[in-house]
Chain A
Amino acid sequence: MAKFNLNINGEDKTVDVDPSTPLLWVLRDHLNLVGTKYGCGIAQCGACTVHFNGSAVRSCQLPVSSLEGSKIRTIEGLSENGDHPVQQAWLEIDVPQCGYCQAGQIMSASALLESNPNPSDEEIENAMNGNICRCGTYSRIKAAIKAASKSQIA
Chain B
Amino acid sequence: MTKKSTTVNRRSFIKSVGIAGGGLLIGFNWLACKRSEEVAVADAALEMPDEWFELNGYLKIGDNGVVTIYSPNPEIGQNVKTSMPMMVAEELDVDWNNVIVEQAPLNTELYSRQLAGGSQSIRQGWEPLRRAGATARYMLLEAAAKQLEVPVEDLSVEDGVISHSGSDKTISYGEIAKAAAEIEIPEEDKVVLKSKNDFKIIGSSRKNVDAKKIVTGQPLFGLDTYKEGMLTAMIVHPPKFGMEFKSMDAEKIKEMPGIKDVFTIDTYPEDTQKQWSDVSAFSKLVVVLGESTWQVMQAKKALEVEWDLNPELTKKIEILEKSAGMGEVSGLESSATHTSLMADVGSKKAKAIRKDGDPEAAFKNAVRVIERSYTCPFLAHNCMEPMNFFANVTADKAELLGPIQTPEYAEKTIQSRLGLDLENIDIQMTRMGGGFGRRLYGNFLVEAAVISQKAGAPVKLVYSREDDMTDGVYRPAYHVKYRAALDANNNITAFHVNAGGIKESPLFANRFPAGAIDNYLAESWTVDSNISIGAFRAPRSNFIAGAEQSFLDELAEETGQDPIQFRLDLLKKAKENPVGENNDYDAARFAGVLEMVRDKSGWKKDDQNLNRGISAYYCHNSYVAQILDLRVKNNEPIIDKVVCAVDCGIVVNPDAAKNMVEGGTIDGIGHALYSKISFEDGMPQQSNYDTYRLIRHKEAPKSIEVYFAENGIDPTGLGEPPFPPVIGALANALYKATGKRFYDQPYISGLQGDLKT
Pick from B223, B295, B664, B690: contact of A136, CB under 8 Å: B664
Interface size class of B (residues with CB under 8 A): 35 or more
Given A30-B292, A37-B223, CB of A97 within 8 Å of CB of B663: yes
Given A45-B689, A76-B217, CB of A125 within 8 Å of CB of B223: no
Given A42-B688, A76-B216, CB of A98 within 8 Å of CB of B662: no
Distance of A119 from chain B, by nearest CB (Å): 12
A100 touches B221 (CB 8 A): yes
A102 touches B214 (CB 8 A): yes
Pick from A18, A40, A141: contact of B465, CB under 8 Å: A40
Pick from A74, A92, A95, A136: contact of B667, CB under 8 Å: A136
Question: Whose C-beta in chain B lies nearest to the C-beta of A133?
Answer: B384
B695 touches A34 (CB 8 A): no
Distance of B560 from chain A, by nearest CB (Å): 36
Question: Whose C-beta in chain B lies nearest to the C-beta of A39?
Answer: B384
Most buried by B among A34, A35, A134: A134
Given A25-B294, A28-B293, A91-B39, CB of A96 within 8 Å of CB of B208: yes
Distance of B460 from chain A, by nearest CB (Å): 10
Given A37-B384, A39-B384, A129-B696, CB of A103 within 8 Å of CB of B217: yes
| Interface residues as binary, A110-137 with B (CB distance below 8 Å gives 1, 0 otherwise) | 0000000000010011101111111111
Q: Which chain B residues in 199-213 approach chain A with CB under 8 Å?
A: 205, 207-208, 210-212
Question: Whose C-beta in chain A lies nearest to the C-beta of B225?
Answer: A34
Chain B residue numbers with a CB within 8 Å of A94 are 205, 207-208, 211, 655-656, 659
Distance of A17 from chain B, by nearest CB (Å): 8
Question: Whose C-beta in chain A lies nearest to the C-beta of B660?
Answer: A97
How far, in angstroms, from A3 to B702 measured CA to CA in the complex? 48
| Interface residues as binary, B213-232 with A (CB distance below 8 Å gives 1, 0 otherwise) | 01111111101101000001
Chain B residue numbers with a CB within 8 Å of A40 are 465, 688-689
A-B contact count (CB 8 A): 200
Pick from B385, B436, B670: contact of A37, CB under 8 Å: B385
Most buried by A among B205, B214, B666, B688: B214
Distance of A90 from chain B, by nearest CB (Å): 5
Instruction: Identify the stretch in B74-82, B278-286, B356-364, B729-737 within 8 Å (CB) of chain A at 4 or more residues.
Output: B74-82
How far, in angstroms, from A81 to B298 measured CA to CA in the complex? 37
- Whether, in the assembled complex, B383 has its beta carbon less than 8 Å from a beta carbon of chain A, the answer is yes
Chain B residue numbers with a CB within 8 Å of A75 are 215-217
Distance of A25 from chain B, by nearest CB (Å): 4
| Interface residues as binary, A53-72 with B (CB distance below 8 Å gives 1, 0 otherwise) | 00000000000000000000
Distance of A137 from chain B, by nearest CB (Å): 6
| Interface residues as binary, A11-23 with B (CB distance below 8 Å gives 1, 0 otherwise) | 0000001101110
- Whether, in the assembled complex, A8 has its beta carbon less than 8 Å from a beta carbon of chain B, the answer is no
Main secondary structure of the interface of A (DSSP, over half): loop
A140 touches B689 (CB 8 A): no
Pick from B292, B664, B689, B703: contact of A132, CB under 8 Å: B689
Residues of A in contact, count (CB < 8 Å): 66
How far, in angstroms, from A44 to B465 measured CA to CA in the complex? 11
Chain B residue numbers with a CB within 8 Å of A98 are 76-77, 383-385, 431-435
How far, in angstroms, from A126 to B294 measured CA to CA in the complex? 31
A142 touches B79 (CB 8 A): no
Distance of B461 from chain A, by nearest CB (Å): 14
- Whether, in the assembled complex, B700 has its beta carbon less than 8 Å from a beta carbon of chain A, the answer is yes
Chain A residue numbers with a CB within 8 Å of B214 are 96, 99, 102-103
B701 touches A34 (CB 8 A): no
A residues apposed to B, CB below 8 Å = 1, 17-18, 20-22, 25, 28-30, 32-42, 44-45, 47, 74-76, 78, 81-83, 87-88, 90-92, 94-103, 106, 121, 124-126, 128-142
Q: Given A75-B216, A82-B215, 4 more contacts at CB 8 Å? A: A18-B295, A34-B219, A47-B384, A134-B694
Q: 15 A-B residue contacts at CB 8 Å?
A: A1-B257, A35-B216, A37-B223, A41-B465, A45-B689, A75-B215, A81-B40, A81-B41, A92-B36, A96-B210, A99-B220, A99-B431, A126-B698, A134-B384, A138-B666
